[in-house]
Amino acid sequence: MDAAADGPRRYLVRTFGCQMNENDSERISGLLEADGLTPATSEDDADVIVLNTCCIRENADNRLYGTLGHLKSRKDARPDLQIVVGGCLAQKDRDQVRARAPYVDVVLGTHNVHRAAELVAQARAGGPITEILDAAVADDATMFPSALATRSGPGHTAWVTIQIGCDNSCAFCIVPAVRGPEISRPFDALVAEVEALAADGVTEVTLLGQNVNSYGRDLTLAARRAGDDVRVRPLFADLLRATGAVDGIRRVRYTSPHPKDLRPETIAAMAEVPEVCSHLHLPLQSGSDRVLAAMHRGYTAERYLERLAAARAEIDDLAVTTDIIVGFPGETEEDFARTLEVAAEAAYDSAYTFVYSPRPGTEAAEMADQEVPAEVVAERFDRLKVVVERTAVAAHRARVGRVEEVAVEGPSRKDPSVLTGRTAQNKLVHFPSPTPLRAGTYAQVRVTDAAAHHLRGELVDVVAPARHRTRIPVAAV
């Protein structure tokens, strides 16, 4: 018997992975709601459980199969419970997912998210379904459906997918295999979507892509091939300016750029458009030129630091974050020492540091004979953490005494009497408030204390109240 036999069927979406996966999860949630389902509060009252997967790092695989093992007992007790596996891992390993968890009702990939509700309905009527599409068979209407048509409910923030896929060939990355080549969404459609989001109460948008810097290069190339007199170039800087100019949009963020494609016009747009946040996430991955070449990153450490310096010279109060991989195959102590040097010179506000894990299907996975011993990787990881946290604390302490504008995100998970907000530089700020403030409220907060990963402050003033309806969250794991 269904958990919701006395009312609408209920769904729960759990997300494994990056912002792109979270964006897809919102689309899936919106489609299921449009088909009559309502959000569940937990697995106990869900009739449909969707696991939207990642395959970038090994831990995501382990968590997926661990979760599927846990759900098997629920499926045995309730045969009408539907389990759906989607996302990058499903796109890459459809047969393995089906073999390891034959009780899964639907397996779908990254290119048929638009079919999620239909496949759930078909599987309920006719049994398990596996449907994986190639990017070549999908068009803009299916790859990039309207955010408003598929969002799980409006909030003050929204993701806007501007492109899918990637044309780079980083040796450690499986994204091109599971997301396909770069396909940019039409410029006017994106601006129209941001306008619609703003009209619905959204004040902050994040532009999403695997390599946002190259957004629109394929569009201009196609126009040139069609005979139009246009210059083949990226359109990302133009898109930043256009979205920043949308009435009602207070903040524009983006992720993720590639250092080799960070162009002067993008830096200029960030410097000149007040709505574009002063935060640059610029993945380094390694400070060693030898390792960067083996990774096929397309830049040297010197070139990376030059572009970072150019951005800091033009953009006021710029915060910089990064990604760094420790233990890439063949990484020597000398290579790692150079990474420490570059990380110290870059003086990051924070860094996402990762232990390298091989992904089947990537070039680096074939370098098993160059594997760095686990104990060496662990020791290097700890040393890198010290360097990164040293510069992060210094950057945060420099903000003590300043008044920052924060967008309220809600009560702190550790202390509900304290609110949490985020600055334009993506700094997390905890502060008490004498009265409750809704998520999406913009407030002035004076910074009083600093730690490596957050700031503390005191409320000075409320500058803009929230103007959106309450948003239904999608669980992330």
pLDDT tens, residue by residue, 335-388: 999 999 999 999 999 999 999 988 888 999 999 999 999 999 999 999 999 999
Q: Could you identify the residue written with the tokens 């760094």?
A: 324
Give the count of beta carbons closer than 10 Å to the beta carbon of residue 470. Answer: 12
Helix (H) or strand (E) holding 280: strand 279-281
Topology at the third CATH level for domain 153-397? pyruvate-formate lyase- activating enzyme (3.80.30)
pTM, rounded to two decimals: 0.84
Q: How far apart are CA 237 and CA 44, in angstroms?
A: 46
- Band the pLDDT of 145: cuts 50, 70, 90: low
pLDDT given at position 140: 52
Same fold across 153-397 and 403-471: no
- The ranges assigned to domains in the chain are 10-134, 153-397, 403-471
- Among 152-161, 232-241, 420-429, 432-441, which stretch is predicted with the lowest mean pLDDT? 152-161
Binding residues for [4Fe-4S] cluster: 18, 54, 88, 166, 170, 173
Q: Is there a contact between 343 and 384 (Cβ–Cβ < 8 Å)?
A: yes
How large a percentage of the chain has pLDDT more than 90?
Answer: 72
Topology at the third CATH level for domain 403-471? OB fold (Dihydrolipoamide Acetyltransferase, E2P) (2.40.50)
Cα angle 430, 434, 440 (rounded to 5 degrees) comes to 55
Which of 422, 413, 414, 405 has the alpha carbon at shortest distance from 462?
405
Is pLDDT larger for residue 91 or for residue 389? 389
How large a percentage of the chain has pLDDT more than 70?
Answer: 91
Average pLDDT, the chain: 90
pLDDT tens, residue by residue, 204-240: 999 999 899 999 999 999 999 999 998 999 999 999 9
pLDDT tens, residue by residue, 61-93: 778 889 999 999 999 999 999 999 998 888 888
pLDDT given at position 144: 58
- Among 21-35, 211-225, 241-255, 440-454, which stretch is predicted with the lowest mean pLDDT? 21-35
Binding residues: 18, 54, 88, 166, 170, 173
**Mean pLDDT of all residues in 326-337:** 98
- Among 23-27, 43-47, 107-111, 349-353, which stretch is predicted with the lowest mean pLDDT? 23-27
Topology at the third CATH level for domain 10-134? Rossmann fold (3.40.50)
